[in-house]
Amino acid sequence: MSRTVIARVIRAFHQVHPETELDLMKLFEVETAVAALRSGAIDAAFRPVAMPGRPIPEDIAGVRVLDEPLHLLTGPAHALTAARSVTPAQLVGHGLRRIPVTGPTPVYPHSLLWHRDIRNPALAALRDHLAATKTGHDRPGTWTPNWVSRT
């Protein structure tokens, strides 16, 4: 997963709310993020939700906040290197390089998760900021996996 989109969202939030102290960390597994939310070690996490076999526990809340378009990564000698964009059908049988995938554009859905009992004003401000500055999801021309929560 690219952290570029999340970094831009957090930077934009902090520019609007510079008084909010932010400590960022990477938690690779959803189970680790849920445990950190439950323990109070973190107030929020960006994760894909509703993956098959990995439901979000009842005590954890979440809202889908943005979709990140996926790109293709290829080597310099790859047949698709010169392409400005590619369709999923064109990818069959090929290796990798970063090129936008279009027709449709697959997206990586990011959701913000938090413990339902947290009443942190900074978390509320982040949630309000994300709601007001939605990058949108389910846009025309995009494709989202069917396991994605539509909230």
The CATH number for 28's domain is 3.40.190.10
Residues 31 and 62 in one domain: yes
Residues 62 and 120 in one domain: yes
Euclidean distance between CA atoms 105 and 120, whole angstroms? 36
Residues 19 and 81 in one domain: no
Give the per-residue pLDDT at 118: 80
Give the per-residue pLDDT at 1: 42
- Mean pLDDT calculated for residue range 83-91: 84
Q: Is residue 93 part of a domain?
A: yes
Q: Is residue 149 part of a domain?
A: no
Give the per-residue pLDDT at 93: 76
**Length of the chain counted residue by residue:** 151
Residues 83 and 20 in one domain: no
Euclidean distance between CA atoms 130 and 112, whole angstroms? 9
Give the per-residue pLDDT at 143: 85
Euclidean distance between CA atoms 96 and 8, whole angstroms? 25
Q: Is residue 39 part of a domain?
A: yes
Euclidean distance between CA atoms 40 and 126, whole angstroms? 17
CB of 75 closer than 8 Å to CB of 97: yes
Q: Is residue 35 part of a domain?
A: yes
Range of the domain at 90: 71-105
Residues 61 and 112 in one domain: yes
pLDDT tier at 149 (50, 70, 90 boundaries)? low
Give the per-residue pLDDT at 98: 62
Residue with tokens 């070690």: 41
Contacts of 118 (CB under 8 A, 6+ apart): 37, 40, 43
pTM: 0.59
Q: Is residue 145 part of a domain?
A: no
Instruction: Count how many domains the chain has.
Output: 2
Report which of residues 107 and 32 the model is more confident about: 32
Residues 61 and 75 in one domain: no
